[in-house]
Each structure stands twice: as C-alpha cells, then as structure tokens.
Structure 1
Amino acid sequence: MANLKFVDTHNMVAFFSKPAESEGFEQIVDFLNAHTIKYALMINPTIYTSCIEQFWATVKAKIINGEVQLQALMDGKKIIITESIVRRDLQLEDAEGVDCLPNATIFEQLTLMCSKTTAWNKFSSTMASAIICLAINQKFNFSKYIFESMVKNLDNASGNFLMYPRFVQAFVNQQLEGMPSHKRIYIAPYHTKKIFGNMRRVGKCFSGRETPLFQTMMVQDQEEVGEDLEMPTDPHHTPTII
C-alpha cells in the first residue's frame, strides 16, 4: 500500500446553495437538501493526510462472527469499520435499502429519464440503481456500496488509492480523541456554483428533450418550510430540468 495518492475528483464536498447559475435546477438542490444523503455529501471534517495514509497502509479485511470488518491501526489504536458503522457515522438510514435493481427495472427507469441510454450504459448497474432509487424515492443501501468499495480498494487491480478521505476521517474521529500527532492537512476539493454554469440546455450534445423531475423528487423550498419538508400534493406542479 506504499505511495498511494489522493484522487482530487473523488469524494468531493458538495454545497447545496442556489447561485444565479442554478436557475432551472433549483428543484435538484431542494431535493438533495431534503434527502438523508445530504449529510454524507456535505460532511467536511479536517482531513489529516498522515491519518488517511496510515489507515490505508495498515487496513486489512477480516471476518469476525460472520461479519466483514475493516481493521486498521491508527496511532497504535485499532480502528474498526463495518457497514453499520458507515451507516451510523454518515447518517444514511438505509439499512432496509436495496443493493441493486433488476436489469429490466434499470432500463425501464433510465428510458423515462432520457430518450437515449448510451451515456447511462457507462454506469455500473449498482450506480444506475442508486441514481434511480434517488429519483423514485426508493431506499438504496449506500452504506453497503461505500463499505464494499472500501474492501475492494484493498485488492484493486486498476490501482489502489487513498479512498474516501472525508469518510475515513469521519470514521476515525468517532473512535479516536484528537489528532495530536497529525499536522499535514488535505483540503478536500468541492463542487461550487460552477457546476450549474457548466450545464447547458443547448448545443450539439443536447437531445432537445427536457426531462421532468419525477413527482417523487418534488419538495418545497427549504426557505419556505424550514426543516420540516413536505412533498407537494399539486399534480400539475412539474418544473423541468435537463
């Protein structure tokens, strides 16, 4: 596990604000702000480079009482990560979520999202399932996906890397008190308002078809309803996005 690197496009922080560039995409912001996945997308602990390096340099997968665990040594103390710990520390509340949808369901739902499925074919069935579950308000087991991805990183044929730095730091913070021996800080990249500025409704790659938000994704503006978000009941309330 020597000489592992961070991948700056991985595990980025998301900020769900509404800059001017977000016009036409406000409903997506409201939807994600109301979803339990919000915490995992926005959590931004101070990431200590040597902490993440030490974790991935020492971590091993073990089966204890029939449960897969990731065990690492951090400053001489054992750090244990399981699927349930991922769920707890990232506040995902997805224990009853599906792992993967049937292929027929995946293609049916992707057809509803876009007239062409070529771009979606680049996704794995698991990732496509995650996107579809978000759209149709079906619970997806993100905790299992994250944990199994960490396990696979230990024996990744395409190359290991310092995976999930934000998440790993959050897990470690729950099991260790303070980071006195760690000084170097890794600044996690983040999505900004430019993500909306880069979206285009016109151009040679635009199919000409606007895809409406699914009714299951519609929520009222957080500024209007505060923290108690409710699903709208007006069946004619169907803003559109790309």
Structure 2
Amino acid sequence: MKDQMANLKFADMHNLAIILADPPVAHGEFKSMIHKLRECCLASAISMNPVVYQNSISEFWKTAKIKKDNDGAVTIEAFVKGCKIEITEQFIRETLLIDDQPGFPTEIGIEDVQKIHKKMGYEGDFPPTVKKLLPPYYRFLAHVFVSCISSRRSGADEISLRNTGAIASLAIGIDFNFSKFILDEFVVNINAITRDTFLMYPRFIQRFIDIQFSEMVKEGDTLDMKSLGPHTVELIKQNRKGKVVFQ
C-alpha cells in the first residue's frame, strides 16, 4: 500500500475550482443555474482556489492513514513537513464551509433518483446516468459536481450512482451530507478500493493544511490547476443539443 501511494500521480481534470461569474449573454439560459450554485451549500467548496504545492499533496497521500474511534467515527491522519494533519467529517464541513448536517443522507435511492431525473428531463434509462443524455442546463450542473467535488477524474460520460444521487440532491435542493461524501472518498483512495487511485483532492488538502498550519513554510513547485469559467456553458451546449429544462 505504501509503495502504491508513493507512485500516485496528479489528475489534470479533477477537483477544479469554478469561477461563478454570469455566463456570456448568448448563453443566458444558464444564468439561473450559476445563481443557484452561488447560493448552494457547496458554493465555497467549488470556488475556493488556494495555491497548491505539489510536494505537500504528495507527502499527504504517502503518509495518509485511516483511524476510527470506539464509535466508528473516521479520522484521516497524515503528515506534511512533520506536522500532523487530521481530517474529520466536521473539519471538512467547517473548512470548506459546507452547509450540511451529520444526519443528512449520503445516498439517494434509485427510485428517488428516477423521479428526479424525470423532472430534470433526462432522456435515457437509469442506472447509470449518462451525462450527455441530460439536458444542457443540468448537464452543466453534473459537469461542475464531477469536476469540482467528485473524487473521480472528469471526462467520462457515465456518472456513478453515488455521484448521481449527490447531483440530484443539488438539482432539487434536498438534504445531502456532502461532507461525509468527501470523507468517504478519502477512505476509498487510501484503501485503494478502486484501481483509479491518484493524488486526489489537491485543492481541499491544501486548504486543510493552510487552516491547520497557517505558519507552515510553503515552497516547491505549485500545481497548475485549470478552472471552470463562464465559457464552460458553451462547451456543454456543443456537447449535445437538447432542450433546457428549468427547475
């Protein structure tokens, strides 16, 4: 496991930040979605954009371990420059300013997702969710979630059931525990439950380090991370023509 963590790489299209500026006038139909994202519980988490130091993220993942207390509560523990970083569900909630609660669900049932899909105007069968079969308005939401919050690399058209539930909860504004969702994804990466292990969540980890050790000397190469900008909506519309459904 240690050797596997030592060889992890960064992913180009993962944990991106989004600039929540209004879309170009020609794509004004997305303006209400941008406004929803500005006001949603993930507004800070999707837009915060710290300077990320590659060596800090690499060191975090090389040393990351999972610890559980007697009640089963999970803490991720890692060391960066000799300083112990501890990440819990509540720390994620407070640091990324996510407006959710511990009792909120982390999964949405298939039948409930099917009902939400119908409201969203999804054109295919479910499961799974195929991003191009969502109307552009909600395809943009799915793209933002997968690119900014999901643990997966962006680019694949098929969206997992767990990610679909999270996206559906955002689409109609129902309770969802995004803080626990993110913590669980740390656990998956550390345990190498999937083959797609990599240097996950660099924006978030850098923010965690900055908050816990504000005086830590920052040095070394920084990570050149892309951001989703206002013109992303144009690419979403070009991906597949379809009606826009407003919720």
Q: 1:190 to 1:115 in 2, by over 3 A?
A: closer
Are positions 1:97 and 2:76 aligned together? no
Q: CA deviation at 1:115?
A: 4.5
Q: Does the Cα contact within 8 Å between 1:110 and 1:132 map onto a contact in 2?
A: yes
Q: Does the Cα contact within 8 Å between 2:129 and 2:159 map onto a contact in 1?
A: yes
Letter of the structure 1 residue corresponding to residue 175 of structure 2: K
Moved more, 34-43 or 64-73: 64-73
Q: In the comparison of the two structures, how many residue pairs are matched?
A: 210
Match of 1:231 in 2: none
Match of 2:143 in 1: none
Identity in percent: 29
Larger Rg: 1
Give 1:133's match in structure 2, choosing from 165, 169, 176.
Answer: 169
d(CA) in 1 for partners of 2:62, 2:42: 28
Regions of 4+ moved over 6 Å: none
SS across alignment from 2:29: coil
Given the two structures, how large is their TM-score scaled by the length of structure 1?
Answer: 0.80
More helix by percentage: 2
Q: 1:115 to 1:170 in 2, by over 3 A?
A: closer
Listed as ranges, the matches of 1:65-144 within 5 Å are 65-66=70-71, 67-95=73-101, 96-118=103-125, 120=129, 122-144=158-180
Q: Does the Cα contact within 8 Å between 2:100 and 2:175 map onto a contact in 1?
A: yes
Match of 1:53 in 2: 58
Q: 1:158 to 1:82 in 2, by over 3 A?
A: same
Match of 1:17 in 2: 21
Match of 1:230 in 2: none
SS across alignment from 2:181: helix
Match of 1:170 in 2: 207
Unaligned runs of 5+ residues in structure 1 are: 215-242
Match of 1:224 in 2: none
d(CA) in 2 for partners of 1:129, 1:33: 20
d(CA) in 2 for partners of 1:146, 1:18: 27
Question: CA-atom RMSD, angstroms?
Answer: 1.9
By relative contact order (CA 8 Å, sep 6+), the higher-ranking structure is 2
Are positions 1:180 and 2:217 aligned together? yes
SS across alignment from 1:129: helix
Listed as ranges, the matches of 1:2-13 within 5 Å are 2-13=6-17
Q: CA deviation at 1:131?
A: 1.4
Q: Does the Cα contact within 8 Å between 2:129 and 2:161 map onto a contact in 1?
A: no
* Per-residue deviation, residues 25-57 of structure 1 (Å, max 9, x unmatched): 111111111112110001111111111011001
